[in-house]
Amino acid sequence: MRPTSTLHPESAPHSAVPDLPAVDAVTQPVVVALIGLPGAGKSVVARALEDQLGLRRVDRDLIRQAMFPRCRYSFVEKRAAFRGVLLALEINCMLGESSVIDGCTFSRCQDLRRVERVVHPHGFLPIALHLDCPPDVARRRIAADVAMNRHLARDRTPEIVSRVLANREPPPPGALRIDAALPAAEVCRLAVTAVAALARVQALPGQD
């Protein structure tokens, strides 16, 4: 994602995500790419953005499951599902609908650039939002999900955190950072507030 002056530098502390001013109209359609380790809480934040701001949630895990019901979770299957994500984003942009991308770690900056190339011709603002989660916290959350059978991906075990860390590139300098070790409600509040201010969009009626 291309850095913009409205995004807070990745090196800034958590306090760099402020209480942003309320806004009253949709003036800028957006595509939000959630960056973070498995277990960082991307799906929880994606659902909050979907529910409170009306963004369309594009979930790579759901796309992969639909494409490959007997998935082996191979690199080729994952890349095919990511192509499905890009196609869904393009269609949403053509329809004038803002999106949030779920199910991707965006550990490779080239994937963020691919998103950017899809959305920019349509005048959408790409927002890179990094949910910065300590690896041990991510592993504990995944272990709890496995115990409760709460995730679609069968390859999502605590060990996947180490595999992602081994190949992860730093988030882009313009990425907005949120401390994902905070309680989920606070992480969602910060994410919704930040995206709403950048997009100048209010929460849907009836939502806090």
Per residue in 170-184, pLDDT (tens digit) is 999 889 999 999 999
Identify the pLDDT of residue 146. 85
Alpha-carbon torsion, ordered 176, 86, 29, 181, to 10 deg: -30
CA 65-80-119 angle, 5° bins = 105
**DSSP at 73:** -
Q: What domains are defined for the chain?
A: 27-199 (3.40.50.300)
- Please check whether residue 14 is in contact with residue 179, taking contact to mean a CB–CB distance below 8 angstroms: yes
Identify the pLDDT of residue 157. 86
pLDDT band at residue 152 using 50, 70 and 90 as cut-offs: low
Q: Name, in order, each residue with C-beta under 8 angstroms of 117's C-beta and a sequence gap of 6 or more.
A: none
Residue 124 has pLDDT above 70, yes or no: yes
Residue 163 has pLDDT above 70, yes or no: yes
Per residue in 37-87, pLDDT (tens digit) is 999 999 999 999 999 999 999 999 999 999 999 988 898 999 999 999 999
Per residue in 73-123, pLDDT (tens digit) is 898 999 999 999 999 999 999 999 999 999 999 999 999 999 999 999 999
